[in-house]
Amino acid sequence: MDRADRAGLGVALIGHVLLFGALSLSLLRPTPKLPPLNPAIEVAWVDAKALQTAAPDAVQEASAPPATAAAPAAPMAPPEPIAAPPPPKPVPAPPQLKAVAKTPVKAALQPTPKPKPVAAQKASAAPPKKTAAAAPQRTSRLGGMGAELSQAATRENDRPGTGRGTAEKGSGTPAAKTAAQLEASFIQALFVKIKKYWRAPTGVDAELLRSNLVVTLNRDGTIGTVTVVSQSGENENNANLKALHAERAVNAVRRAGPFELPPEHYAIWQSLGPITFDKRLN
Binding interface with other proteins (CB under 8 A): 4-9, 11-13, 15-16, 20, 23-25, 28-30
**Shortest distance, position 27 Cβ to other proteins, whole Å:** 10
**Shortest distance, position 31 Cβ to other proteins, whole Å:** 11
User: CA 221 → CA 208, 228, 275, 277, distances in Å?
Assistant: 31, 20, 17, 21
- The smaller minimum CB distance to other proteins, of residues 17 and 84, is found at 17
Cβ(187)–Cβ(49) under 8 Å?
no
- The smaller minimum CB distance to other proteins, of residues 8 and 263, is found at 8
**Shortest distance, position 20 Cβ to other proteins, whole Å:** 6
Q: Give the span between the Cα atoms of 140 and 96, in whole angstroms.
A: 12
- The smaller minimum CB distance to other proteins, of residues 6 and 219, is found at 6
**Shortest distance, position 198 Cβ to other proteins, whole Å:** 21
- The smaller minimum CB distance to other proteins, of residues 28 and 40, is found at 28
**Shortest distance, position 1 Cβ to other proteins, whole Å:** 9
In the chain, which ranges are continuous DSSP H helix? 3-25, 48-52, 58-63, 67-76, 80-83, 93-102, 115-125, 131-158, 163-170, 175-194, 242-256, 266-269
Q: Give the span between the Cα atoms of 161 and 156, in whole angstroms.
A: 8
Cβ(159)–Cβ(112) under 8 Å?
no
**Shortest distance, position 61 Cβ to other proteins, whole Å:** 51
Give every CB contact of residue 211 below 8 A, 6+ residues apart in sequence.
228, 230, 231, 245, 246, 249, 276, 277
- The smaller minimum CB distance to other proteins, of residues 9 and 132, is found at 9
Give every CB contact of residue 221 below 8 A, 6+ residues apart in sequence.
257, 258, 259, 260, 261
- The smaller minimum CB distance to other proteins, of residues 30 and 81, is found at 30
